[in-house]
């Protein structure tokens, strides 16, 4: 190992270039940063990025009124059952995402627009999600919508090709 040099102007020991290049630091993301990363990947349509933020056995609880409602367990199930169904009906554009960290978990709000593939109808979407994050991965997501019945009706119209 290299030697420690004379203290720097701020009084801390200087390290040689060799020591600096061999130093590894583990920087852990805060739970809020993990959720921000998840939302960033969702906004870009980056499925591998979404999967990288979810625990292998993630539990996602969607409102029962939706075509993909209910409790889903596992990353692949989430991608197929929730994202696949959602994107099968409509193009998803996330326009805003906010994340708040508290003692009970991380709360995220997503705002965006769904555009039906069949009709072009647009639906303004606002969701509130409560995330449980452990070991740098989202392990559970509880999803809340202001009016899930309206969203379910939008999906029914999109499926039927009517407005």
Q: What is the pLDDT of residues 17-32, one digit of tens each?
A: 444 444 444 568 999 9
Nearest Cα to Cα of residue 77 among 57, 63, 91: 57
Please give the residue range of the domain that contains residue 128.
32-160
Does 93 score more than 50 pLDDT? yes
pTM beyond 0.85, yes or no: no
Regarding beta strands 137-145 and 54-62, do their DSSP bridges make them parallel or antiparallel, or are they unpaired?
Answer: parallel
Q: Is residue 25 part of a domain?
A: no
The answer to the question of residue 102 being in a domain is yes
Interval 131-154: pLDDT, tens: 999 999 999 999 999 899 999 999
For residue 44, being part of any structural domain is answered with yes
Q: 1 in a domain, yes or no?
A: no
* Residue 5 included in any domain: no
Inside any domain, residue 149: yes
Report d(CA 41, CA 131) in Å as an integer. Answer: 16
Q: In which band, very low, low, confident or very high, does the pLDDT at 53 lie, cut at 50, 70 and 90?
A: very high
11 falls within a domain: no
Across the strands, what pairs with 114?
92, 123
Q: Which residues contact 144 (CB under 8 A, 6 or more apart)?
A: 63, 127, 128, 129, 130
Rounded to whole angstroms, the Cα distance separating 26 from 154 reads 46
Residue 80 domain flag = yes
Domain count, the chain: 1
**Higher per-residue confidence, 34 vs 17:** 34
User: CATH number, domain at 94?
Assistant: 3.10.450.50
Question: Is residue 48 helix, strand or coil?
Answer: helix
């Amino acid at each position: 190992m290299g030697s420690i040099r004379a203290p720097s102007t701020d009084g801390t020991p200087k390290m040689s270039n060799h020591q600096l290049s061999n130093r590894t630091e583990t920087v852990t993301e805060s739970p809020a940063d993990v959720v921000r990363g998840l939302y960033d990947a969702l906004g870009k349509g980056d499925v591998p990025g979404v999967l990288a933020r979810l625990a292998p056995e993630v539990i996602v609880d969607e409102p029962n009124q939706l075509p993909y409602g209910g409790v889903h367990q596992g990353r692949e199930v989430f991608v197929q059952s929730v994202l696949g169904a959602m994107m099968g009906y409509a193009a998803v554009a996330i326009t805003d995402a906010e994340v708040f960290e508290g003692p009970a978990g991380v709360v995220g709000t997503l705002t965006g627009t769904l555009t039906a593939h069949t009709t072009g109808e647009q639906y303004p979407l606002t969701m509130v999600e409560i995330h449980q994050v452990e070991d740098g991965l989202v392990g559970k997501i509880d999803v809340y919508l202001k009016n899930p019945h309206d969203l379910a009706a939008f999906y029914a119209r999109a499926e039927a090709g009517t407005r």
